[in-house]
Chains A and B, each alone.
Chain A
Amino acid sequence: MYKILKKQTLGPSIREYIVEAPEVARVGKAGQFIVLRLHERGERIPLTIVACDPETGGVTLVVQEVGKSTREMGDRFHVGDTILDFAGPLGEATEIENYGTVICIGGGLGIAPLYPIARALKNAGNEVIGIIGARNKELLFYEDQMAAVSDKLIVKTDDGSYGSQGFVSDPLKEILESGSKIDRVWAIGPAIMMKVCANVTRPFEVPTIVSLNSIMIDGTGMCGGCRVDVGGVAKFACVDGPEFDGHQVDFDLLMSRQGYYAEEEVCSMDRYMTKYAEGAEQ
C-alpha cells in the first residue's frame, strides 16, 4: 500500500500527487514512469515520474482526469489514503548529457514529464530554451518551475488567454528558422503535438526526442499493447522507450492505437458518474 503524502490541484481536472514509494524515489530518473493500480478492481495506469525525493520517499506525479480511473483518483483518493499497487521505475531514463543548446517543449499534460528532463538538462550544463503551452490559461501549470530551469521560457495558449496565442510548434519553428544552433529538442505532449514538432525539426535535422504514451497493460514488456512503429520496426514503449527518435515514429499509428478503447472508456466513465460519483462505495 502506498500512501498519498500530498495532493494539490494545478488546474481544471489536473492534480499533482506525491505518493510514498521509497524504493522508487531512491532510484527513479527523469523520463521513467511508474504503473499504479488504485484498488482491487482497478486498471494498471502508467504515469510518468515528475520528481523523486529520496529523503521523504515521495514520488511526484501529475494526473489529468481524462477517464474513469483518473477521475476516480481525483474524486476519492486524498492525502493519507493509500493506493493499492505502485511499481517502478519502468522504462529507460532520458539520456542526459551536455548537448549545448536544447529546446524543451511541453504541451498540456506533457509539461509534467518534460519538467524533470529540462531540469536535468539544465543541471548538466545545457542552455535550455523552454516552450510550454496549453489550450488555455487554466490548463497551464508549472510555469514557475519551468522558468527556474530554463534560460528562456516561451508560453503559448491556443486561445491566447495567457502568454502569446498559438501552438508550441510556432516558436520552435521561428527559433530554427532564425538560424540559432539547436543541438537537441525534447517534445512531450499529445501525439499530434509531438508529430507537428517532429515535422518542424526534420528539415533542420535537429535530433528530436518524444515520449510516447501508448496504451499499456502491464508496463513491463509483457503484453505488447504499447507497441509503436519506430523506423519501420515494432518497439515496445514500456521497455524500449518511452522516449524515441521523433523523426522515426509513426504518429498516425500511435494515435489510432490510442483510440482503440474510446467507446469502452466512455462506457466506464458514464457508469462511474451515475453509480459512484455521489459517494457510493464500490
Chain B
Amino acid sequence: MIQEKQTPMREQPAAERIHNFNEVPYGYSEDEAVQEATRCLQCAHAPCVKGCPVGIDIPAFMDHLKNRRFAEAASVIKQDNALPAVCGRVCPQENQCQGVCTLANRFDPVAIGRLERFCADWEAENEACRVEMEPDTGKHVAVVGAGPAGLTVAGELRKRGHAVTMFELLHVAGGVLMYGIPEFRLPKAIVQREIQALCEMGVNLEVNQVIGRTQTIQEMLNGDYDAVFIGTGAGLPRFLGVPGENLNGVFSANEFLTRTNLMRAYQFPEYDTPIKISARVVTVGGGNVAMDASRTALRLGAKESVIVYRRSEAELPARAEEVHHAKEEGIRFQLLTNPVEFIGEDGRLAAVRCIRMELGEPDDSGRRRPVPVPGSEFEIETGTVVIAVGNGPHPLIPQTTPDLELNRWGSIVADPETGRTSLKGVYAGGDIVTGAATVIEAMGAGKRSAMAIHENLMNGA
C-alpha cells in the first residue's frame, strides 16, 4: 500500500519566520527521508531522470536512501550535480523531475527535491563522499562568472582532470545564489560550502576580477587558457519604463536583494550597507524573484507586502512552493494589475498608480495577453516599490569581446547542445545565453558545455 501524500517537511511557522532570515523548511530527518524514498516505484523507464536538466540517476539514489545508504545516495547525486544542496532547495521540481514522476498521475509525486537536499546536507555533515577525479590532463580552462553555470562547468572539468580557474566580478563566488536568492530560502553558508567543495577539488577561484577590462577573452585564449567558458548571467535589471521610476524608493529587485543578501543590509549597522523601506512595500512581478523580494520586505519590517502582477494567479511563473510560502506569510496578491506611474513627493515615492488588466488572446508565450481595462486606474500608497520584471544580459563581456555573436537582446549566441559561440575556443551558457531562467537550467547548460569542452580538449572534436 503506497503512501499517497508526500512525507511532510517541518518548517518554521509563518508568524515566526516573517521576523527572521533563517531558513524556512527544516529538512527531513533520516527516518523521514527513508519513508519518503520508499514511495519511489523504481520505474524502469525513469521519466524523472529525463525531467532533470542535469540527468541525476534519481531511482539509484532513491534505492540507496530506502536502504539507509546515505553516503552512497549522496555520491550518486554528486556524480551529476555539483550543487545538490542548492538545487534541492531552489529547483522548480514540479516542472521537472517531480512533474513527470509516475506517482503524480494519481498521488503526490515523490519529493525528489527534498530528498536531494537531505542527501546533500547529510553528506556535508558527515563528510562522507569523495568525487572521483581523473588524472591531470595539462589543459587549463578559464571560467568567467562563478554563478550556477560557471560553478557547474568548473566542477565537471576539474573532475575530468583539467585545471580550472574561475573569475568572479563580485567579492564572493556564487552569483545569483549569493546576491539574489535570500538567506531564508538558500542559506549563504550552504552556497559557500558547495563552492568550498569545488575549491577542495582544485578549482582556482579569483574574485574581484573585471574580465573584459583587466584581460579580454581573446587575451585569455592567446595566453594561458585552452578554452574559455562565459557564464556571466543576466545581471542587468529591467525597469518598466513608466514615469517616476527613478524616484527614491523605487528599487530594482537586484538592488533590493543585493543590499539585503550579499551586503547583509538586514544586519545594518553591524554591516555597513543600509536599506530603507516603508511600512507598505509593493513588488511588481510574479516570478521567484518577486516572491523573494516581497517576503524579504516582510523580514525587513514591512507591515504589509503586496505583489502587483499583470496576469492572473494561473500564470504566476514562480515555483509553487514560493507562492505557497508567500501566501502563508500574508503577502497580498494584487493580480491583473499593472503600474502606470510612480508618484513622488519631494523626490520620494509616495504612491504607485496602477491600472486593472484583463486577459485577452494568447500571446507568443502561449499565455493569455494582459490588456488594460480603460478607466480602471487606482493608486496604492507606498514609499517602496521593487521592480522584479526580469533582467537582461550582463553587458561587460559582450561589450568588450569583438566578434562575439550576440542576438538582438544582447545575449550571446551559443549552440544549445555544446555552448559553442562564434569564437573558436569560447563557450557560453546560462542566463547570458538564454536570458533570465532558472538555476538548474543554467547548470544543465554548464554541464553540456563542459562535455563539449572536454571532448574538444581531449580529441580536438
Answer yes or no: are A and B bound together in one complex: yes
Please list the residues of chain A having a beta carbon within 8 angstroms of any beta carbon in chain B: 23-24, 26-27, 37, 41-44, 68-69, 84-90, 217-218, 220-225, 227-229, 234, 239, 252-253, 256-257, 259-261, 263-265, 267-268, 271
B263 at the interface (CB under 8 A from A): yes
Cα(A21)–Cα(B347), bound, Å: 39
A260 contacts across to B, CB distance below 8 A? 248-249, 276, 348
Cα(A39)–Cα(B320), bound, Å: 39
What's the least CB distance linking B403 to chain A, in Å? 20
Among residues of A, the one whose C-beta sits closest to the C-beta of B216 is A27
The reply to whether A222 and B271 contact each other, CB–CB distance below 8 Å, is: no
What's the least CB distance linking B54 to chain A, in Å? 26
8 nearest A-B residue pairs (beta carbon): A256-B347, A264-B274, A223-B255, A87-B208, A43-B272, A224-B252, A85-B171, A222-B235
B246 at the interface (CB under 8 A from A): yes
Cα(A43)–Cα(B235), bound, Å: 19
B249 contacts across to A, CB distance below 8 A? 260
What's the least CB distance linking A41 to chain B, in Å? 5
The reply to whether B254 and A43 contact each other, CB–CB distance below 8 Å, is: no
B251 contacts across to A, CB distance below 8 A? 224-225
Please list the residues of chain B having a beta carbon within 8 angstroms of any beta carbon in chain A: 169-171, 179, 207-210, 213-215, 235-237, 239, 245-246, 248-249, 251-252, 254-255, 258-259, 262-264, 268-274, 276, 347-348, 394-396
The reply to whether B235 and A84 contact each other, CB–CB distance below 8 Å, is: no
A252 contacts across to B, CB distance below 8 A? 347
The reply to whether B210 and A218 contact each other, CB–CB distance below 8 Å, is: no
A41-B271, A85-B171, A239-B396 given as contacts; is B246 within 8 A of A227 (CB)? yes
A to B CB contacts below 8 Å, 30 in the list: A41-B270, A42-B272, A44-B171, A44-B263, A84-B171, A85-B207, A86-B208, A87-B169, A87-B209, A89-B210, A89-B213, A217-B258, A220-B170, A221-B236, A221-B395, A223-B252, A224-B254, A224-B255, A225-B251, A227-B246, A229-B246, A234-B245, A253-B347, A259-B248, A260-B248, A260-B276, A267-B269, A267-B274, A268-B268, A268-B269
**A interface, over-half SS:** mixed
**B interface, over-half SS:** loop
Cα(A218)–Cα(B348), bound, Å: 23
- Which of B237, B239, B276, B348 is A264 in contact with, Cβ under 8 Å? B276
Cα(A146)–Cα(B259), bound, Å: 38
B274 contacts across to A, CB distance below 8 A? 261, 264-265, 267-268
A43 contacts across to B, CB distance below 8 A? 263, 271-273
A271 contacts across to B, CB distance below 8 A? 269
- Which of B214, B245, B255 is A225 in contact with, Cβ under 8 Å? B255
The reply to whether B179 and A222 contact each other, CB–CB distance below 8 Å, is: yes
The reply to whether B169 and A217 contact each other, CB–CB distance below 8 Å, is: no
Among residues of A, the one whose C-beta sits closest to the C-beta of B271 is A41
**What 4 new A-B contacts, CB under 8 Å, besides A85-B208, A222-B235?**
A217-B255, A221-B235, A257-B248, A260-B348
The reply to whether B237 and A27 contact each other, CB–CB distance below 8 Å, is: no
Cα(A105)–Cα(B236), bound, Å: 33
What's the least CB distance linking B257 to chain A, in Å? 9
Among residues of A, the one whose C-beta sits closest to the C-beta of B392 is A221
B255 contacts across to A, CB distance below 8 A? 217, 223-225
User: Which residue among B207, B214, B347, B394 has the maximum number of chain A CB atoms within 10 Å of its CB?
Assistant: B214
The reply to whether B214 and A23 contact each other, CB–CB distance below 8 Å, is: yes
Cα(A27)–Cα(B211), bound, Å: 12
A24 contacts across to B, CB distance below 8 A? 210, 214
Cα(A238)–Cα(B68), bound, Å: 53
The reply to whether A224 and B237 contact each other, CB–CB distance below 8 Å, is: yes
The reply to whether B245 and A220 contact each other, CB–CB distance below 8 Å, is: no
The reply to whether A222 and B258 contact each other, CB–CB distance below 8 Å, is: yes
A227 contacts across to B, CB distance below 8 A? 246
Cα(A217)–Cα(B207), bound, Å: 16
What's the least CB distance linking A235 to chain B, in Å? 10
The reply to whether B272 and A218 contact each other, CB–CB distance below 8 Å, is: no
What's the least CB distance linking B162 to chain A, in Å? 24
What's the least CB distance linking B175 to chain A, in Å? 10
The reply to whether B208 and A220 contact each other, CB–CB distance below 8 Å, is: no
B170 contacts across to A, CB distance below 8 A? 87, 218, 220
A87-B209, A264-B276 given as contacts; is B169 within 8 A of A220 (CB)? yes
What's the least CB distance linking A178 to chain B, in Å? 38
What's the least CB distance linking A232 to chain B, in Å? 11
The reply to whether A253 and B214 contact each other, CB–CB distance below 8 Å, is: no
- Which of A42, A89, A223 is B258 in contact with, Cβ under 8 Å? A223
A87-B208, A89-B213 given as contacts; is B258 within 8 A of A253 (CB)? no
